[in-house]
Structure 1
Amino acid sequence: MSDVGGTPVLREPAHQVSPRAVPFWTVSALIGDALLVIGVLVACLLVPGVPGWAWLVVVLVGVLAIAHVVLMPRIRFRVHRWEVTDTAVHTREGWIGRESRIAPISRVQTVDSRQGALMRMFGLASITVTTASAAGPITVDCLDAETARQVVARLTAITAATEDDAT
């Protein structure tokens, strides 16, 4: 955090997610969007008397799916950032909208890691920091698996040394 004219200004978190997040998000979007396009196409083929404009919807869904698969991973990679300090966990995420979250270490209750089958294929993992906050947990997606293990270990050590009760 820096100071501009006596008003604190929050800097962006220091770290980007793994570069392997881009192909991971691309494959994830491709799988989900392909299922959507196939579903819309099958619905149009199976429903008798489908009006001609329905095929335009199929084409539009296909074009939007392609744009999503091509653009979303790259934009998301540029935006997603994270940082863990001795005092807070700070994240920024989004690809259309942006969300920044900061949780003081004293509010951290649990630290979890997750690595689904597709994430394992890309050597990635996510961590989730549960806090005493109505806003819900903070998640850092698509870290290198080893980085995620180190962050979990670091957060565990920092929170164990913190005397507050995270409520």
Structure 2
Amino acid sequence: MGDSESGDADAGRGGTGTAHDRSQHRTEPGRGDGRDDTGVLRLRPPAHRVHRKAVAWWRTRILLVAAAAVAVLVVPAALLPDAARFWVLVPAAVLAVAGVAAAVGMPMWWYRVHRWEVTGDAVYTRTGALWQEWRVAPMSRIQTVDSERGPLEQVFGLATVTVTTASAKGALTIPGLDRDLAADLVHELTETTQATPGDAT
């Protein structure tokens, strides 16, 4: 399904729940640990969705970007002659309509695509939109785990967890998590990786 490099596997291009229920970000019974018959970690659909509030977060972000782009056109248009103003306001209107359409549709699609899961052996993620990226990072290859919250994420009570690995493919990100769940996940992954022998260099 894709390339495998430095312990991370990638393919394509591209849960909600209570914050302190640690069992919700572990593999459910019967799913297996993601290894094939030879014991090699393989790509598979992660189990958990991001938090439902991520839809509103993404939607607000799109609308703010669209509003800024429209304002760049509309504000100077007030200083133009009437004949020239029309040719500025038309693309502004197109941008506004496109922004609203994207804000309505894209976040729901992202919510369906973005998934994540943590097992005792690895972190699984699926992100993207038209071009999706599937990744699995073995615990032995994880270097650092961080949580960050931008201004909008703080408004919606969300956070993004970034897992840095010993791979040229770069870090794995899990956006749109409940902030308390993200804090728990960072703590758990840090403890697990510290206790896991490996060569995360």
Range into which the TM-score falls when normalised by the shorter chain: 0.7 to 0.9
Amino acid at match of 1:37: V
2:78, 2:85 within 8 Å by CA — same for their partners in 1?
A: no
Instruction: Identify which of structures 1 and 2 has the higher relative contact order when contacts are C-alpha pairs closer than 8 Å and 6+ apart.
Output: 2
Amino acid at match of 2:194: A
Matched, 1:118 2:152: yes
Q: State the Cα distance separating 1:66 from its structure 2 match.
A: 0.9
Matched, 1:88 2:122: yes
**2:73 aligned residue:** 40
Q: Greater shift after overlay, 22-31 or 54-63?
A: 54-63
Matched, 1:56 2:103: no
Q: State the Cα distance separating 1:150 from its structure 2 match.
A: 1.3
Relative to 1, partners in 2 of residues 1:121 and 1:103: Cα closer, same or farther, differing over 3 Å? same
CA distance in 1, matches of 2:73, 2:120: 49
CA distance in 2, matches of 1:51, 1:19: 41
Identity of aligned residues (%): 45
Matched, 1:162 2:184: no
Q: State the Cα distance separating 1:59 from its structure 2 match.
A: 2.2
2:42, 2:136 within 8 Å by CA — same for their partners in 1?
A: no
1:2, 1:11 within 8 Å by CA — same for their partners in 2?
A: no
Relative to 1, partners in 2 of residues 1:123 and 1:51: Cα closer, same or farther, differing over 3 Å? closer
Amino acid at match of 1:66: V
CA distance in 2, matches of 1:96, 1:36: 23
- How many residues are treated as equivalent by the alignment? 163
Q: State the Cα distance separating 1:120 from its structure 2 match.
A: 1.7
Segments of structure 2 that go 5 or more residues without pairing to the other structure are: 1-33
Give the TM-score normalised by structure 1. 0.87
Segments of structure 1 that go 5 or more residues without pairing to the other structure are: none
CA distance in 2, matches of 1:67, 1:145: 28
**CA root-mean-square deviation:** 2.2
> What do the CA deviations read for 1:2-56 (whole angstroms, capped 9, x no partner)?
87xxxx9742101000011111111121111111111122344445673855443
Matched, 1:20 2:53: yes
> What do the CA deviations read for 1:125-157 (whole angstroms, capped 9, x no partner)?
111001111111111001011110111111111
**1:152 aligned residue:** 186
